[in-house]
Every structure is written in structure tokens, then in C-alpha cells.
Structure 1
Amino acid sequence: MRLTRLVYLTLILGVCFPPVYSRTAVIHGRVVNESGKPVAHARVSVVYADHAVKNFRADANGEFEMILSGPLPAQLHAFAPGYAVLQMDVSDPSQNDLVLRLRPLRLADSVTVVASRTTLPMSRSTQSVVVLSREEQQMSAAQTVDDLLRQVPGFTLFRRSSSLVAHPTSQGVSMRGVGPSGASRSLVLADGVPINDPFGGWVYWSRIPRIALDRIEILRGGASELYGTDALGGVVQLFRRSPVARTLLLEGYLGSFQNVDTSFLASHRLGRHGFAVAGELFRSEGYVQVPPSDRGPVDIAARSKHHALEGLWEYRFGADNRVYTVLSDFSEHRGNGTPLQTNDTQIRSINAGVSFVDGLNNYWTVQTFALSETFDALFSAVALDRQSESLTRSQRVPAQSTGVQGVWRRRIGQKHLLLGGADYAEVRGASDELGFNAGSLTGSLRSEGRQDRGGIYLQDTFQVTDRLQFVLGARWDRWRNHDAFAFSRTFSTGVSRQTPFPARSDSAWSPKLAARLDLTQDLSLRGSVSRSFRAPTLNELYRSFRVGNVVTNANPALEPERATSGEAGVDWGLRAPLTLRGTLFWYAIDANVANVTLSTTPSLITRQRENLGATRSRGLELDALYRPDSRWSFSAGYFLSDATVRTAPRMPELVGLRIPQVPRHQAVLQMEYRQEERFFASALLRLSGTQFDDDQNRFALGGYHVVDLALGKPLTRFAELFFGCENLFNETYAVGKTPVETIGMPRRVHGGIRFRLE
């Protein structure tokens, strides 16, 4: 109600008190590169004193004409792919024949928010951060966000499968070899709001239409001191595009497996108001995941379809003042490789927020969010000869979550930047199951619970000298699981039983100390030590599931995972054409939650979620980037991880074994070429070493390498042809063994047209 009143108040103020000074003038100019050659079709935008924005485009000769119609002073922004953004103040409307000289983009020109919950130049970050710009996303052959993120070494999902065919509950994120599971050990945000599934922790990567994304930031390393639970291994943050006047984007693709992918984005600005609507519709008949030598009549293609729709409204009432609301609707249907195994998801959410600066130069951000979700799934048992299957379980999982979070920021003098905040979230969820045996209904089970969690934090970024920076922060979290029970009924006997689970609460203290030292303009050292944690999800506590012939049971007695980690890194050449970055990291996790094998038979493997003991992950990250000019970009990345079980009191035979789903080696090589928007091409080589699909290291998944290719050709200023090919050489590689092997995506080709009017 208070937010609604604030919205109405700002609308009245905007109507009743329009800008008092405005002057119309025409300015001519041209955009050139460092050599004085024109930059074709560069984007030029004007941000007026009342924060209204108008956009223009240069022609093929780099020349532009813009009409100044708002209050001055204004700020001029010029940008083109491969170049750094140029900013210029305009206070005199009589200025003319402007020359905007762009220089090639360097890594130091990037900014990051995810590392500190405030805008920070990459050259000031104390941790390892990767930023994927809008242009890099558009030059990728990947059609989903998770496939795009696989170009970041160390990023893994629970299994190697793309989210186009993988079961949703296997899409938890892991980084730095901490060990993926269905529940994510890394937090995923969209404009600061968590999008990890509130019940299970996994991620629906298609919830936000890709066309609506501006950039993606990946923070590798624990960040619980700012973000609390789920940020044990790192943070991925998605940033939406800001509404721009008179903008329409349309994309349509056709491809292998009868893929149809269409999306749109429409946005406009009316004074201080901004509006945007984005949507995505996708359908794929998929492929058969079981290798030909093992297939039977029961094996069919893993198909999927989904739609995502969201609308955004914002109102800006100052340089840093903004009110916004986002409404979204997401629905997907999947077939999981047999006629009976399917799942459906429906998610509706709303989030709203306000950011403002008060009279004492305190910067405040307050966000609220709410989500309602229904997840339906069918599970079956497949005969050993794969000639038939029988339904074993149907599940419906309704879940709701609400939350609020606030961030405060203030600069104290020239040396201290203080940041503080608090957040609270409430999650309610249940699992309604029907059991089947030989096609007959045998019983029902309802498991239900609630989790309340909240935290407070404070951080000081202390600029000791121009070259030395310290970051000291800490966070305290507390959560409570309560109102939990299981109610079962056996239909043949009519016997019912209700089992209440005792309420449990716990807390975590997450401190961090980090530093950065600039030895020279091009050489810097950085390092950090921290504590992080992850509280078990309601899914891990109360819901069992089945994948193939593997049953994994819930465990209401799970304890939180707690990690101590450290890293030391070096950055060289952030402002030069060649940039090199290296990071040594170390993780020690206590009470690591793992799927522990209890029994194995030819037809059934039974596992249970357990606090295994202690695990350790240590390794190395290497990143290289070479941009000789605005057209070419070469990058390489390497990830080495030694991730093993250190203690396992209940299963000592696991000590010394490797953590499941963590490859020892990962590497990426990438090349991009863009010729002033006349043509672009990119090639990506991904390599991954052997990993294990189980805790006992019995089911090895061999190493693999795949090549992706993307090509684009503008037809006009408004239209562009696009072609993408994933797994160009049709490499066959294993992604899972349950215990039947499943294979990754074969060669997939797609192409289409992109239409842009802005």
C-alpha cells in the first residue's frame, strides 16, 4: 500500500512540476575512431538535466544530427561495439560540428556491481569477476543463459546437460569446484532480486527473456558476507536493459530438432517514465539422450517448450532516484526422455523497488518481491531391457515466497565507502505425492514445511592510498525451519500416519577481509579470506525424487554447509590491449550435503541426502584477453580444481575420492571479429576433463571438447541475419549415468533474423 501511494505521489509531482528550463537546438557531429576514421552506426544518446533520455544513431559515415529539446546541462554518450563508452557534457546549445573520438574497449572500462553491491570499476575489485556484455551475448551461438555461462571456466551445473533438455531440479550452479547438486551452491540474481527456486534452490534459466538482458556478471568465490545463503561458491547477476524511447527488438530462429525460438522487446519513455515489455516463446522436439547402443522402445526425445513474459515500469526523479515494478509470468513443459516422465512449471512473480539519495548523501535501495510457483512431475521405473516403463510416482510441489531487502551506502570523506543492509525472506512449500506399483495407485504422501530467514551486514571499503585498498565486512544470518510434517496414507489398508518434524533454527556468521595493491598502473595484486554458508532448502529437507533408476531420499535432519575460503590473484594490463589475470583459490567445506549411495541393485540405486563430512577444493583460474583493435577479440581461460572428500565419518570409504560432478580441468578458447557492424563471427572451443557422476567414483564421465560457431550479417540498419552452430563437429560425450548413460547435445544448428528499431 505504501509503495502504491509513493507511485501516485511521484506521478502527481511529475505532472504538476515539469522542467522549467528547456531550449531547442540542433547539433551536428560525427563519430570517429582513434585514427580519425568514421565509426558507422554508432549510438549517441543525450541524458538531460531532468534525466530524460533520447537516442540517436550515426549514419554509415559516422555523422549524426540530434535535436536538443530538454533542460541543460545534458550529458552526451557515444558507443559502438568494440569501443569504450565516451561521455561528454553539453551545456551550450550553440555547440556544433562535434567530433566524438572513440577508443578501443579495455577490461578496465568495465564496471561491476556484483562484487560489492555498488558500482565499482573492474580495476578496483578484490575478487575474480567476469562480465559478459550485451554484444558478447549477441555474438554467441548459445540460446540459453546457462549455455552462455559455460564459456566461464569453473562454472558448472549439477550435470553437463543444457537446460534445454535437463530436468529442472538438476540445474543448480556451482563454481570453484565446491561440488554442484540440484540445489545451487551459487546465488543467481536479476537486478538484485534472487531467482534461485525458493523451494529447491535450482535455477530456471529461461525465466527472463534473453532479449531483455543487458549484461551478466559472474563473481567467482564465496560472497555470504553480502548475500547470505546460497552465495557459498559465488554469485551470478543478470541485469535487464533500461527502457529506451521508441525501441522495438524482434528475433526469430529456426533450427535443429524442430526448434522454434521467437522473442521481442518493446520499450518507450515518456518524460521521467519508462516502460518495457519483453517476451520469449521457445519450442524444441529435442533429441534422444540414451546412446543408440543402449536404447529401447521406451526411449524418446527429451522435448521442451516454454514461454516467458515480463513488463517493467520505472519512474526516475533524480540522477540516482528511481521507482520501479516488474511483473513476470513463466511456464514450461518438458518431456524427460520417456513417454511417462514429464514435468511442468508455472511461475508468477512481482518485484518492486525504490532507490534514492537523501539530503545527507545517503544512498538507499529498498526492494520487495513475491513469487508463486507450481511444479508437477511424473517419475517411472524403466525395465532393464528398456522395453517398457511403469509409473512410480507423481508429484505436485506448490511453493510461495516473499521477501524484502534494503541497502544503505554512504561515502565518508575520500577514503571510506560504507555499505550496510538487511534482508528477510519467507518460503512455504509442500510436496504432494501419489505412489504407484505396476500401474496401480498404492498410496499418498504430503510433506510440508516453512523456512524464514534474515540477515544484516556491514562493509567498509577503505582506500588507504591511491594504490592500496582494504575491504572489511561481516554478515549475520539466522533462519528457522518450522511447521513441517509428513502425512502418508496406504490405500490398500486405509492406514494413515502423520509425522511432525521438530522446528529447528540456526545462525551463521560470515566475515570477510580483502585487499588490493596496485604495484604499477598495469600490475595489481589482490586477495581475500572469508567465511560463507548455505542453509538446506525445503526440497532437500522434505522432498524425495527419482531420475532414471536412481532414487534420492530427503533428510529433515540436514545441517547447514559452512565454508572457509581464500584466494590470491594478480591482474596485469587491465588498461592495455593484452590483459592477463590469475587466481589461486582454496575452499574447505564442513557438513557438505551430498547424495550418498545407500544400496545398489541392477534395477535400482538408492541414495539419501547426507551431511557427508568435510570436503576441500583448491585450484587455479587463468584468464587472458587480447583486443588489438575494435574489430578483434581473443580470449582464453583455464580452470584447475583438486576437489576431494577429506572426512566422512559415516562412510569412511569415501575419503580421498573426488567430489562428484567436478572436472579436474576446464579450458575455453574464443575468437570474435566484428567489422563496424558489417559482419561478425565468433568461434568458441570448450574443453572439460573427466568427472564422476556419483559419490563412490564408480561412474566416470569422460572428458570432451566442443566447438561453437556464430555468424552475423546486417542486411540494413534495422535487420541482421544470424547463424549459430553448437557442437560443430558433433562430439558425443556423456553427461550422466543413472546408471544408464545419457549423452550431451549433438550438433545443433539454428538461424534467423534480428530486427532492431531504436
Structure 2
Amino acid sequence: MRCPSLLPLLTLAVPFSALAQQGPVPPAGQADIVVLGQPLPLPPGVPAYGSVTIGRARLTGDATGRVEDVLLDVAGFQQFRRSDSRSANPSAQGVTLRALGGNASSRALVLLDGVPLADPFFGYIPFNALAVDRLAGVRVTRGGGAGAFGAGAVAGTIELASATRADLPPVAGELFYGSNAAVVASGSVSPDAGGGFVSLSGKFERGDGFYTTPPGQFTPATVRARYRDGSASLRAVVPIDAQTEIQARGLLYRDARSLRFAGADSSSAGEDASVRLIHRGAWAIDALAYVQARNFSNRVISATSFRLTLDQRNTPATGVGGKIELRPPVGPDHVLRIGADARLGDGQLYENAYAASGAVTTRRNAGGHTSTTGLFVEDDWTLGRLVLTAGVRGDRWTITRGFFRETTAAGATTTDTRYPDRDGFEGTGRAGALFHASDAVALRAAGYTGFRLPTLNELYRPFVVFPITTQANAALGLERLRGAEGGLDLKPVAGVTFGVTAFYNRLDGAIANVTIAPNLRQRRNVDTIVAKGIELTAHAARGRFSFDGSYAFSDSRVHASGASRQLDGFVPAQSPRHSGSATLAWASPHGFAAALTARHVGKQYEDDLQTDVLPPATTLDGVLTLPVGQRVGVVLRGENLFDETVITRNSAGSIDFGTPRTLWIGVRLR
């Protein structure tokens, strides 16, 4: 067995309608082979919503080795900032799609094996805990309407699937050394066990990092963006009978980063566990339960005195939830899904404020609880070449036990506020149509609604990115989305596919960081963000070469009145007009392979008032694989090969940079 090539390095952003019906091909003479560790089959109407996929080979073959960077293959995907999980503050790693604006909480629903990954307090995604070799693939659906997935998908849904038995060799590992004394080591053992399998994997990485600060802004306290993190995962899949299996997963991770100034340290930690029952009989069943325990800390250093001003020392949070989905036998032309899901989150913030002398001046404690409980029904109806799909949800939501408490260093209470409990009901739905005009042409259209609760972070936690303070707002309302899209998928010749989608999304009550005074912002609901645009995807394979590309044009505007009327007509913060990605790969049958990936992100604004610009940036990454044995390969990787300056933050000229040129050499065992 040779070292895996990088082709197809690229089951990337191809139209999902070209892949949705594919599955494992059984050997001759065998029928109905069940690949252990998979979810239930996809309903036939899924491609109506314009999904795109990223395969395992692409995930494990990117130059960065990071899930959040591979997701950039889907144009329109973005985190709050342009940094990855080595040099971003963890709380800024919220994700969104379609340029709907950013405020560091996730507007996209991110799932791993059906489990929401967002932190229960902050809403950010712990990308440092996701190792690419543990995944089988990713499906990204741009646009709202969560259907059977749960509440929260106002910008789209990102579904990650764990590696199956077919993906996992008995033993695998890799070791990389890179620029700035960076080291990445990972490995897994995946033996068969009792008719199923168990996979134990671990990953560790560290690096001295780079200077995020421009040389002209160096101070005596300026340091590199050092990082150190590790994770371990255990997944077991046990068949109960020929049609039923239990999938259990546990995850433990720890992360520590330093940003900009000495002492400006952050950390995150988590312990997650889930168990899932999959039954593939006449009455198909998908039942899931999970629990998450998370924590976060952050130290804020003054940009003038270089002393500790704020220590957000402890932010414990817990998420508990589950889902059950039934698919009753209603005839060969229908796939009916009926079910319920629930998610409960709670968390608290403990922080200390400091005087210039180093003495504690104030102690604060804030937090609360949120929950959503929903019922859903969705049906896909196949009428020859036409597939119709429609679903509705009803969700009861609550925001309860909110409080803010402040004391002096001596313990005397200065503020003790209890916020009123709130609850409500939201009805949402989605509908779509997919028409296969021929084997080469598919037409699709969809409409949807969705909603998102404000996070505990948005409601109760103020934060400082010096010198700007952003206040929380316990009175925040829900975000509600309405959207529609239409698309065309083409397969003109074998090995070539094109996809185009035009969309219109309207996000009412969008939560934004609104400037209310110099160096002071507050989270507020603005009237509406309207985003419309076009998304293009392309895939071509010929001989040993393949090409994959994705481009998104997004025209986003804020419509605001009242206290936020100064934002009316502005582009939402952190919303580029243009974004794109292209990968060209070559592979030989002997294991040699190479790939180049170019990515572009257009100009965007740091702030709500459009005063601070983040210039466009184009980067080029490369990967070269050289087999040196039947199971061993040497891999050379390069990030940002032309050392493009990527500005990730601009606060009145106070600038942070993204990843510079970074080179790696490593050994991979399969």
C-alpha cells in the first residue's frame, strides 16, 4: 500500500447533486454492504439546497492541515477574522456564510456526526479540536432552514462526518516540522472489535508563532503568537444486528495561545461525549444524545501601560442535547422524516479588572441559561426526474436565569442585576425542488426561514480588544432569516461539473457590534441585513490532473433605523464582496503527487462604521508528496508561498497580521 496520493485531493466544492446519490460499491456477488460508522442515507431532496462537499483526501491533503482552512474551498465561508486557530483568539472563531456579517458568534450551524459543535457560552467553533484525519468528509449547505438538524442555521449548515471503517487504516501517523519551530504530531490506531471497530487518535501541536504586529508598532511587550494545543478522541462503532449499530464518541482537548503582547494569553478546553443509535430497517431510526463541558480564559493587556487590565479567568459552560428521527415506510417515492430535538446551554463568566498598580479593582460574575426544543417533519417526494422536498419545524426557546453581579476587591456588592426570563415559539420551514432535465443538467430552487438565539456571550459578556470595549446586551432579540435561491448544475462531459447559484437572504434583527461612542460599542439588533449574490463551483478531472474552483459574489447591506440609523446602507462588518478558491492537482499511480491552492478574499471592513479597511489578500499554498516505501511518504507543504500580507484586524491603524510564509516537512505513515 503506497502513501496516498493527492488525487482526488479534491472532492471539494463540487455541486452536491453530483455526489448525493453515490455510495460504497459492493464487490461482485455481494449486495447491500453496510459501511460501519455512517449515518442514515441522504434523502433525495438534499441537493435541492445546493450543498457542496469536501472529501477526505482533500481534508488530509491541505497545506495547513486545518479544517477551518480547508473549508475556505467553499467560497462564502468565513470566520469572524481571517486568522486560523493558531493565531486567533478562540472566542473570535464564529463562522458564517454568504457575507451576512460577523460579530464572532456562529451564524452557521456546525455539526459533527449530528452534534452541534458551537461552544454553549460563546457560540464559537473549537477548530483546534478537529483533526482532519478523524473525518470522512464535510457537506456545506449555504442558506438557512435547518430542517431536521436543529435550530441556529441562519447562514447555513456545515456537517462534518467522522471517518468510517473504510477510511481508517489499522495504524496511521504523521510528524511535521515547520517554520518558527512548529511541530505537529498525530496518530491513530483503529482495530476491529466484536464485529465493529474502535479508533483511538491523538494530536499535539506547538509553535513559537509569528509576530502579528507590524514592525513599526512593536513595543517592549510585543511577542510572537505562540500556541500549544492537543486533543484525543475515542470512537467506537458496535453493530447490534445486521441493521442496527451504536456509535459512541468521546473528545478531550486543551489549547493555549499568546497574542500580540506578553501576558495576553488565552486558553480553551473541552470534554465532549455522544452516543448515537442508527437503525436501517423499514422504520429507520437516528437517535442521538450528547453532553459538552467547556471552559475559556482570556487576559487583556493594555496597549499603553502593557499591564494586565482584565482577567477573564474562568468561563465554564455546559451543553446537553439530543435528537430522535424516524423514517416510516411510506412507499418507494417518499422519504418521510419525523422527529424532535433539544439543546440546553448554561454558562458563567468570572473576571477581575485591574488598576495600573496591578491591584484588583472589580470582580464580575455573569451568566444564564438558554434552550431550544423543536419538532420537525420533512418529506422528499420523487416524481420521475422531479424531486420535491418540504419541511416545517416548531421550536420553543427560553432565555432564563440571566444575571450580572459586580463587587469590589474587598467583596462589597456594587451591582446585582437579575434579568427577566424570556421564552417564545418560532415556526420555520424550508422547501425545494430538484429537476433532472437530463443526465447532464439539473435545475434546483429552494426557499427557507430560520432563526438564531443570541448566545450567552452576546447577552452577558462584555469584552475588550484594546482600546475598544464592546458591551453585552441582555435585551437582545432573536435573529430571523428569510431566503430564496435557484441554481443550475451541469455535467457537459465525463469528469467535468459546473454549478451556479443565485441567492437572496434577509436577516432581520441581525446582532451587530454597534459603535455608540469613541472606543465603545454595544451588541444590538439592527433592523435587517440583506445579502444577495451568486456562487459558482467547478470541477474537472482529466488523466492525472484535476481542477476545483469556487467563487462567491456577495452584495450585503445593512438596513437600520432608530439608535443604529447611522449604519443604514453600510456593508456589514467583516463581509467581503468577493471570495474565491482554486486548486490544481496532479498525481501519478506510483504515489507521487502535487497540488497548488490559490485563495482570494476581497476588501472588507473591520468595523460597523466602515472607517477601518481590511485590504484584499491572495495567497498560494502548495503540497508535494514523495513516496519512500510501501507505507511511508515524505510530504512537503508551504502556506502563503509568496508571503502575502494578510491584515486580520485594523482598529484605527492598530493592525494584526495573518499567517506569513510557513514551510513544513513531514513523514506520513499509512
CA displacement at 1:173 relative to structure 2: 0.5
Aligned to 1:371: 292
Distance (Å, rounded) in 2 between the aligned partners of 1:627 and 1:545: 48
Distance (Å, rounded) in 2 between the aligned partners of 1:575 and 1:305: 47
Scaled by the length of structure 2, what TM-score is found? 0.93
Instruction: Verify: 1:652 aligned to 2:565, yes or no.
Output: yes
Question: Matches of residues 154-193 of structure 1 in structure 2 within 5 Å?
Answer: 154-193=76-115
Secondary structure at the counterpart of residue 217 of structure 2: coil
CA displacement at 1:393 relative to structure 2: 3.6
Cα separation, partners in 2 of 1:42 and 1:435, compared to 1, 3 Å:
closer
Instruction: Verify: 1:275 aligned to 2:198, yes or no.
Output: yes
Aligned to 1:511: 429
CA displacement at 1:85 relative to structure 2: 5.8
Cα separation, partners in 2 of 1:86 and 1:715, compared to 1, 3 Å:
farther
Aligned to 1:424: 342
Amino acid at match of 2:190: S
Aligned to 2:67: 145
Cα separation, partners in 2 of 1:254 and 1:42, compared to 1, 3 Å:
closer
Cα separation, partners in 2 of 1:209 and 1:735, compared to 1, 3 Å:
same
Distance (Å, rounded) in 2 between the aligned partners of 1:203 and 1:254: 26
- Are the equivalent residues in 2 in contact too, given 1:139–1:711 (CA < 8 A)? no
Amino acid at match of 1:280: K
Aligned to 1:585: 503
Amino acid at match of 2:579: Q
Amino acid at match of 1:735: T
| Deviations 1:198-256, CA, capped at 9 Å, x for gaps | 11110011213222111122111113333333211111121111246870001100001
Distance (Å, rounded) in 2 between the aligned partners of 1:587 and 1:182: 20
Instruction: Verify: 1:251 aligned to 2:174, yes or no.
Output: yes
| Deviations 1:437-483, CA, capped at 9 Å, x for gaps | 2122101111121112211110010112x211111101111111112
Match for residue 600 of structure 2 among 684, 687, 695: 687
Larger mean CA deviation between 245-254 and 585-594 belongs to 245-254
Aligned to 1:355: 278
Instruction: Verify: 1:442 aligned to 2:332, yes or no.
Output: no
Secondary structure at the counterpart of residue 382 of structure 1: coil
Instruction: Verify: 1:456 aligned to 2:395, yes or no.
Output: no
Distance (Å, rounded) in 2 between the aligned partners of 1:42 and 1:517: 41
Distance (Å, rounded) in 1 between the aligned partners of 2:229 and 2:451: 33
| Deviations 1:307-329, CA, capped at 9 Å, x for gaps | 10011122113444111221211
Amino acid at match of 2:400: H
| Deviations 1:285-339, CA, capped at 9 Å, x for gaps | 1111111122222221111111100111221134441112212111011112211
Distance (Å, rounded) in 2 between the aligned partners of 1:217 and 1:753: 29
Match for residue 132 of structure 1 among 47, 50, 54: 54
Question: Matches of residues 25-64 of structure 1 in structure 2 within 5 Å?
Answer: none
Instruction: Verify: 1:615 aligned to 2:534, yes or no.
Output: no
Match for residue 648 of structure 2 among 718, 735, 739: 735
Instruction: Verify: 1:334 aligned to 2:257, yes or no.
Output: yes
Larger mean CA deviation between 322-331 and 483-492 belongs to 483-492
Distance (Å, rounded) in 2 between the aligned partners of 1:118 and 1:491: 58
Distance (Å, rounded) in 2 between the aligned partners of 1:446 and 1:477: 30
| Deviations 1:578-630, CA, capped at 9 Å, x for gaps | 21100000111111000001111xxxx1111000111100000011111123x
Cα separation, partners in 2 of 1:669 and 1:313, compared to 1, 3 Å:
closer
Aligned to 1:88: 27
Secondary structure at the counterpart of residue 589 of structure 2: coil
Distance (Å, rounded) in 1 between the aligned partners of 2:216 and 2:662: 21
Distance (Å, rounded) in 2 between the aligned partners of 1:284 and 1:296: 22
- Are the equivalent residues in 1 in contact too, given 2:2–2:629 (CA < 8 A)? no
Distance (Å, rounded) in 2 between the aligned partners of 1:316 and 1:571: 38
- Are the equivalent residues in 2 in contact too, given 1:246–1:269 (CA < 8 A)? no
Aligned to 2:9: none
Amino acid at match of 2:204: L
Instruction: Give the root-mean-square deviation of aligned CA atoms.
Output: 2.1
Instruction: Verify: 1:661 aligned to 2:574, yes or no.
Output: yes
Amino acid at match of 1:724: R
Match for residue 700 of structure 1 among 613, 619, 639: 613
Aligned to 2:19: none
CA displacement at 1:735 relative to structure 2: 1.0
- Mark the structure with the bigger radius of gyration: 1
Instruction: Verify: 1:407 aligned to 2:346, yes or no.
Output: no
Aligned to 2:541: 627
Distance (Å, rounded) in 1 between the aligned partners of 2:506 and 2:246: 41
Aligned to 1:490: 408
- Are the equivalent residues in 1 in contact too, given 2:43–2:335 (CA < 8 A)? no
- Are the equivalent residues in 1 in contact too, given 2:479–2:507 (CA < 8 A)? yes
Aligned residues: 644
Cα separation, partners in 2 of 1:716 and 1:147, compared to 1, 3 Å:
same
- Are the equivalent residues in 1 in contact too, given 2:375–2:393 (CA < 8 A)? yes
Cα separation, partners in 2 of 1:201 and 1:493, compared to 1, 3 Å:
closer
Secondary structure at the counterpart of residue 70 of structure 2: helix
Amino acid at match of 1:696: L
Distance (Å, rounded) in 1 between the aligned partners of 2:649 and 2:293: 31
CA displacement at 1:711 relative to structure 2: 0.6
Cα separation, partners in 2 of 1:702 and 1:539, compared to 1, 3 Å:
same
Distance (Å, rounded) in 2 between the aligned partners of 1:240 and 1:395: 33
Amino acid at match of 1:147: D
Cα separation, partners in 2 of 1:311 and 1:493, compared to 1, 3 Å:
closer
CA displacement at 1:575 relative to structure 2: 7.1
Match for residue 199 of structure 1 among 106, 121, 141: 121
- Are the equivalent residues in 2 in contact too, given 1:228–1:532 (CA < 8 A)? no
- Are the equivalent residues in 1 in contact too, given 2:3–2:632 (CA < 8 A)? no
- Are the equivalent residues in 2 in contact too, given 1:637–1:669 (CA < 8 A)? yes
Distance (Å, rounded) in 2 between the aligned partners of 1:279 and 1:697: 43
Secondary structure at the counterpart of residue 651 of structure 1: helix
Distance (Å, rounded) in 2 between the aligned partners of 1:144 and 1:704: 19
Distance (Å, rounded) in 2 between the aligned partners of 1:699 and 1:405: 43
Cα separation, partners in 2 of 1:401 and 1:91, compared to 1, 3 Å:
closer
Aligned to 1:529: 447
Cα separation, partners in 2 of 1:42 and 1:430, compared to 1, 3 Å:
closer
CA displacement at 1:493 relative to structure 2: 8.8
- Are the equivalent residues in 2 in contact too, given 1:595–1:609 (CA < 8 A)? yes
| Deviations 1:475-520, CA, capped at 9 Å, x for gaps | 1111111122111112369343311110011221111110011111
Amino acid at match of 1:736: R
Distance (Å, rounded) in 2 between the aligned partners of 1:242 and 1:637: 27
- Are the equivalent residues in 2 in contact too, given 1:382–1:390 (CA < 8 A)? no
Distance (Å, rounded) in 2 between the aligned partners of 1:296 and 1:137: 39
Scaled by the length of structure 1, what TM-score is found? 0.82
Distance (Å, rounded) in 1 between the aligned partners of 2:188 and 2:171: 6
Instruction: Verify: 1:564 aligned to 2:482, yes or no.
Output: yes
- Are the equivalent residues in 2 in contact too, given 1:154–1:666 (CA < 8 A)? yes
Aligned to 1:108: none
Amino acid at match of 1:625: H
- Are the equivalent residues in 2 in contact too, given 1:490–1:496 (CA < 8 A)? yes
Match for residue 720 of structure 1 among 623, 629, 633: 633
Flag structure 1 segments of 5+ consecutive residues without an equivalent.
1-39, 44-82, 93-112
Distance (Å, rounded) in 2 between the aligned partners of 1:625 and 1:454: 40
CA displacement at 1:534 relative to structure 2: 0.7
Larger mean CA deviation between 245-254 and 397-406 belongs to 245-254
